[in-house]
Structure 1
Amino acid sequence: MCDNCQGTMANTLSEALLVSTSWNTASDDLTSQPTKTLVKDFCENTLKSDEVSKLYCTVLDVEVSEDQKKDAESVGVTLIPATRSKWADPDEDPPVVNWLFNHDKYYQQLKDLHNIKYVVSFSSKTKNAAAAIHESLFPQAQLHQLSPPEQNGVLFTFDIWNKDACGLTNYHRTIIHDFSIRKAKAGEKLIAYSTVIDVELSEDQKIDAEKCGVTLLHAQKKKRANQKKDLPKLEWLMEHQSRYPDLGKLENIKYVVGYAPKTGWAAADIRETLFPDAKLVLINHACPESNCLLENDDEEDPELEEEMLKMASLADLLFSIGPTIYEYFKNAYRATIDGRQLSDIPHEEILPKPGQVYFESEMVIGTDTDRARTILTYGQLDTQEALKTCELTAASIGNVANNFKECHKVCPDWKVKGVSKQDIKKTQNFLIEKLNSAHVMPKLYPTYSVQKLLQVLQQSHLCLPPSCYTDYSFEGLEAMAAGLPTRVQDDSHIASMIEKHFPMHTDVCVMTCKETCRDQKISKCLTSKTEAFIHARILKKISVRVKWSQKAWQNLLLYSKRKKGPRNQVLVTL
């Protein structure tokens, strides 16, 4: 018990009940639940000279950890965990705030407390529960609602946290890191959370998350499920009430952020069920319309578009990664879905920033006297769609190899990374057929980490990323950020970004669909390597100065209910 609660006891012992969902051992935790600091403040500022012999605190946990017990006992607090029937299914009856209202069932120990003088709520989430307990069990006690310094939170809904991953996973990490830096500079009291489907967090994950300014919320397996078959998967996010009990303990979540279509539905459901006052922010990372004409395939995926428009109808703010996806949805949002005009929802373009590790990497300039000529293509090449985007690339590399052979030049090597191990042979046969050349053999490698990719980028002379995906492809941008000469197809996501944000470099970096244009640009890059690397270095220096995410975070707007006339906007500078 803290010093202010000690002293000579009165004839009638007086006690205080703290109504909470959890006990946090961290004094600066966002959730606004009791900590040692808050309890001391309560004793000093509220109780003052009043003598309280004992403090109790409810928690939603069925079992309390030893760290929690010791931390609470250090300020004289006894934790009261919930009690659940031994016949109840833990997966069907997860801890929720409503347990506090149903205290006759889950907190029968409260009936044994006879000298409660104070009933205290530390947050808005438990305010009504504290009032209900006060009215039914301790009407003679004083009811207090304490308001700790408000700290708002942002919950990112995603499945993975891995500093060594590429693509959207790396972008997710980058965007949270930038968010944390920007809000810290602005002095904003916003704390970031991110879900992961891992059941346990590794030390590397914890350390890296702390470095990026985010708290990771891991999943839980269902106790009565087959442990060998109940493996982590994306669908767990939709089962958040049983898989993520810690979500229900968070306070003051201001934004719930999801990636559409990957985690859009999960983010919308979490916002609706747990944080109805929060703003739902969706980041579009896929384009239903594929700009490359694939044989025997439709250009557009109507089901994906319909799904993403329905997600958008639930959102308060929308972002789209890069110009191609942004322009597509700028037009698509002219529609009305479920009675809501989508064009009324704020919609902003967000730039696809590569990870900082690529900008920090050093690239040794290749010289014209070097005999080695290595071409790199990488990405998630484990689908038929992704493979078809390599057809034109393979044909051009084959033409260049044939021309080099006729001119007695060393033919290029072609490394292809991102092919699943079971598909390597099939993919290699497909690419050999499209190459139509006996002078170059594609060398295929499975998936890769960031560090391994950086090594391969430093050993290459040219990057030819797949032309287009439904999902945004970050491959060419990562190579450009590393300083590797990169040439992209004019129908790709990256090409549209270069044309809009780096127009001076369009002629060099963007290839048209004409075969001669592609062949000439690839050939020139491999024969004039010094010139190509100098240009790549210039482009890298320019891209370093780009404020990739500043506009996005500066345009994270809070929109009040729309009235007639212009939108009422309040700018939040993060």
Structure 2
Amino acid sequence: MANTHSEALLVFSSWNTLSDDLTLQQTRTLVNYFRENKLKSGKVSELYCTVLDVEVSEDQKKDAESVGVTLIPATRSKWLDPQEDPPGVHWLVHHDKYYPGLKELQHIKHVVSFSPKTKNAAAAIHESLFPQAQLHQLSPPEPNGVLFTFDIWNKDACGLTNYHRTIIHDFCVRKAKAGEQLIAYSTVIDLELSEDQKTDAKQCGVTLIPSKRKERGPMKKDSPKLDWLLKHEIHYPGIGKLKNIKYVVGYAPKTGWAAADIKETLFPDAKLVLINHAFPEKNCLFKMDDDEAELEEDMLKMASLANVLFSIGPKIYEYFKNAYRAKVDGRKLSDIPHEEILPKPGQVYFDGEVVNGTDTGTCSILTYGQLHTQEALKTCDSIAATIGNVANNLKEYHKLCPEWKIKGVSMEDVNKTRRYLNEKLNSPHVMPKLYPTYSVQKLLRVLQQSHLCLPPSCYTDYSFEGLEAMAAGLPTRVQDDSHIACMIAKAFPNAYRFLRHDTSSHIYGAENIEMSNFQH
């Protein structure tokens, strides 16, 4: 009886689900392409894949095994200095030295290369080890693209700006696991990209698209702004050059109309994806001059153009779940797929190493957020009143004055801001310390120096501030009906029930919950 056992060797230089090299992006997609398009006449029982790594990580192994692939790492002499012999495609060409285990493969019927970089290596392996096998040089179809409309790319930013980077990564990984290869793009309002932006975007597998100032006329000296996305034909001519855009993603209300217009005018066959990050009300983080009723109608019309809808957090999701029961221009919004996102803070916050319970002889309370306007500062009124009462009691019984740090305020009129907060504090025993816009690293330092976080009670936008503090391990007190409290109740119901009835109710920290419960 003839031996029907058949194996294939895929000559890759890396196994990576996201990479800046298009031939390496979402390698599972290349595996599926090989199976579906080149092996219709017969089955392959085993798939092996070379990688330049000397050691393969557990994540690589699990990802490869999920599509039936066994990874073959390289072998480097322990006597050689790694700097003198760095990984390269030449390792694959000299496979007898760096991949001695290939000789043990007995039933290879196919040797496959997907990239011009590994073509010669595949030919050398085929000729010397598996001359009886078929040699394939495959060129997969050009991958589809996803365009995210946003204004900022900054790894050191907090809140929605930082989470934007996570959303892009999660969206592409989700599609990769479904076997769909995507190239990610994101707009920024910067006229020129910094080296830090380029490097960080490359590591995230994203190509940034900067804006362009009008070359003639009175607008040639205008500063970049968010509205430029609505004039993309003038300020973002590079968008029109993109190919195979399958998804256009916008944030509602921030960039929703811009995404809808780009989709309609440039990529009519693409799907419009909208992510709700705020209620349709005047809010403290993004200036909106429309009446609330008009803004709600505006967001519903925006949603009627979408193919897929997402909402960040349970409160925003439940609000729109009810709002989408309506019809807009004859379209029933409830027929549009609508999913909830429970956002996970960046890993940098989990690594923050906040030490709790240290007796330092002081009590440092932190409030931070985008508090640049008078309307935004009003969200701190109840916090100020509470801290004022606490300060009066502490001074009377413990001779201790708390310290209140407020980060993210406008420094243009510091005295006016301080007077306003002092009026709300109504206590001579605490002086608010004001700080301007903050970076992630500066925020982590302040989190490590604080004893308690009291995030602003901004109702309209999803509150990332308290969530970041919790991830770092800092005790955080939130209102019962806040975005964070509702998120905890949804993601961690057991922890929420325990904390809700505890004497220190509404105070949450990373030690109380398993962050793996977050959904993306």
TM-score of the alignment, normalized to the shorter chain, above 0.5: yes
- What is aligned with 2:189? 197
1:230 and 2:222 matched: yes
Letter in 2 for 1:149: P
CA–CA separation in structure 1 for the residues paired with 2:185 and 2:215: 25
- For residue 542 of structure 1, the aligned residue among 498, 502, 514 is 514
Distance 1:509 1:391, change over 3 A: farther
Q: Residues 62-121 of structure 1: CA distance to partner in whole angstroms, max 9, x if unpaired?
A: xxxxxxxxxxxxxxxxxxxxxxxxxxxxxxxxxxxxxxxxxxxxxxxxxxxxxxxxxxxx
In the alignment, is the contact (CA less than 8 A) between 1:290 and 1:469 conserved in 2?
Answer: no
Q: How does 1:164-243 map to 2 (within 5 A)?
A: 164-184=156-176, 187-226=179-218, 229-243=221-235
| 1:314, distance to aligned residue in structure 2 (A) | 0.6
Q: Which structure 2 residue ranges, 5 or more long, are not aligned?
A: 1-20, 26-138, 285-290
Distance 1:382 1:161, change over 3 A: same
Secondary structure at 2:230 match in 1: helix
| 1:156, distance to aligned residue in structure 2 (A) | 0.5
| 1:182, distance to aligned residue in structure 2 (A) | 4.1
1:489 and 2:479 matched: yes
Q: Residues 459-490 of structure 1: CA distance to partner in whole angstroms, max 9, x if unpaired?
A: 10100001123222210000011111101012
Distance 1:160 1:290, change over 3 A: closer
| 1:148, distance to aligned residue in structure 2 (A) | 6.5
CA–CA separation in structure 2 for the residues paired with 1:290 and 1:198: 27
Letter in 2 for 1:384: Q
Identity over aligned residues, as a percent? 72
Secondary structure at 2:427 match in 1: coil
| 1:179, distance to aligned residue in structure 2 (A) | 2.9
Secondary structure at 1:161 match in 2: coil
Q: How does 1:123-202 map to 2 (within 5 A)?
A: 149-184=141-176, 187-202=179-194
| 1:29, distance to aligned residue in structure 2 (A) | 11
Letter in 2 for 1:324: K
CA RMSD of aligned residues (A): 2.9
Q: Residues 3-53 of structure 1: CA distance to partner in whole angstroms, max 9, x if unpaired?
A: xxxxxxxxxxxxxxxxxxxxxxx87599xxxxxxxxxxxxxxxxxxxxxxx
Secondary structure at 1:237 match in 2: helix
Q: How does 1:391-406 map to 2 (within 5 A)?
A: 391-406=381-396
CA–CA separation in structure 2 for the residues paired with 1:270 and 1:220: 16
Secondary structure at 1:240 match in 2: helix
1:382 and 2:389 matched: no
Letter in 1 for 2:511: I
Secondary structure at 2:272 match in 1: strand
Distance 1:29 1:542, change over 3 A: closer
Letter in 2 for 1:196: V
Distance 1:492 1:27, change over 3 A: closer
- What is aligned with 2:334? 343
Task: Point out the more displaced range, 492-501 or 450-459.
Answer: 492-501
Secondary structure at 1:361 match in 2: coil
Q: Residues 147-201 of structure 1: CA distance to partner in whole angstroms, max 9, x if unpaired?
A: 9714111111111111111111111111112334444555531111111111111
Letter in 2 for 1:172: H
Q: How does 1:243-392 map to 2 (within 5 A)?
A: 243-288=235-280, 301-367=292-358, 369-392=359-382
Q: Residues 321-342 of structure 1: CA distance to partner in whole angstroms, max 9, x if unpaired?
A: 1011111111111111122111
Letter in 2 for 1:206: K
Task: Point out the more displaced range, 382-391 or 275-284.
Answer: 382-391
Secondary structure at 2:398 match in 1: coil
Letter in 2 for 1:251: K
Q: Which structure 1 residue ranges, 5 or more long, are not aligned?
A: 1-25, 31-146, 293-299, 512-516, 526-531, 550-574
In the alignment, is the contact (CA less than 8 A) between 2:352 and 2:472 conserved in 1?
Answer: yes
Secondary structure at 2:239 match in 1: helix
CA–CA separation in structure 2 for the residues paired with 1:182 and 1:324: 24
CA–CA separation in structure 2 for the residues paired with 1:508 and 1:452: 33
Distance 1:219 1:28, change over 3 A: farther
Distance 1:239 1:29, change over 3 A: farther
Task: Point out the more displaced range, 240-249 or 271-280.
Answer: 240-249
TM-score normalized by structure 2?
0.69
Distance 1:253 1:430, change over 3 A: same
1:455 and 2:445 matched: yes
In the alignment, is the contact (CA less than 8 A) between 2:491 and 2:517 conserved in 1?
Answer: no
Distance 1:289 1:499, change over 3 A: farther
In the alignment, is the contact (CA less than 8 A) between 1:197 and 1:234 conserved in 2?
Answer: yes
Count of aligned positions: 383
1:473 and 2:444 matched: no
Distance 1:521 1:433, change over 3 A: farther
Letter in 2 for 1:156: F
In the alignment, is the contact (CA less than 8 A) between 1:385 and 1:469 conserved in 2?
Answer: no
| 1:500, distance to aligned residue in structure 2 (A) | 1.9
CA–CA separation in structure 1 for the residues paired with 2:156 and 2:443: 10
Letter in 2 for 1:542: E
Secondary structure at 2:514 match in 1: helix
- For residue 432 of structure 1, the aligned residue among 422, 426, 443 is 422
- What is aligned with 1:48? none
TM-score normalized by structure 1?
0.62
Secondary structure at 1:421 match in 2: coil
CA–CA separation in structure 2 for the residues paired with 1:217 and 1:271: 16
